[in-house]
Structure 1
């Protein structure tokens, strides 16, 4: 019952918003206000988009740096294991 009541109020709110926007849009001053609102919303979304892309670029650079560090660590570890294996092989063959 509560859900139905909430949905009814929600639907009435949407319908009321459409009616109010239609009435405001008929008045030249209302059109100007709506145009300013639209402009501000456009500026906001542009700024958010720019900020998102800047953050995405920063994160990509961090990930690329981390991949480079990880690759270098793997290479050094492989070299160390190879050196240890060579030393062990040399030690075993010289003790025979």
Structure 2
């Protein structure tokens, strides 16, 4: 609680000092210069943030494209495997059917 009180006293004291300094023409210029520097600093920080955000967006977009390609490749591989398995089952069924027919004909003879 004591720390909060000192913090509030510091803020109020800072505003009071800025008000007194702002009344003096030289102090007004100093505060204007400080304000300009703070504005320049925030502009630079904003530009850096937007630059990093653009890099991150590019990275995420690239990762999304890679993931989409991987999903497409897996889907194609699954479809190819399904078709190959279907062909193998059809061939096996045909072979078994031929063997059963041959066995049945052999048994008749």
Question: Could you tell me the TM-score, scaled by structure 1's length?
Answer: 0.90
Matching residue of 2:38: 41
Q: Cα distance, 1:55 vs. partner?
A: 1.0
For residue 53 of structure 1, the aligned residue among 50, 55, 59 is 50
Q: Root-mean-square deviation (CA), in Å?
A: 1.0
How far does the alpha carbon of each residue in 1:26-65 deviate from its partner, in whole angstroms, 9 at most, with x for none?
1111111111100000000111111111111111111111
Unaligned runs of 5+ in 2: 94-109
Please identify the structure whose Cα radius of gyration is greater.
Answer: 2
Aligned length: 93
Distance in 2 (alpha carbons) for counterparts of 1:22 and 1:59: 43
Matching residue of 1:11: 8
Distance in 2 (alpha carbons) for counterparts of 1:38 and 1:29: 14
Matching residue of 1:30: 27
Distance in 2 (alpha carbons) for counterparts of 1:30 and 1:15: 18
Question: Could you tell me the TM-score, scaled by structure 2's length?
Answer: 0.80
Distance in 2 (alpha carbons) for counterparts of 1:95 and 1:12: 90
How far does the alpha carbon of each residue in 1:62-92 deviate from its partner, in whole angstroms, 9 at most, with x for none?
1111111101111110110111111111111
Distance in 1 (alpha carbons) for counterparts of 2:75 and 2:46: 43
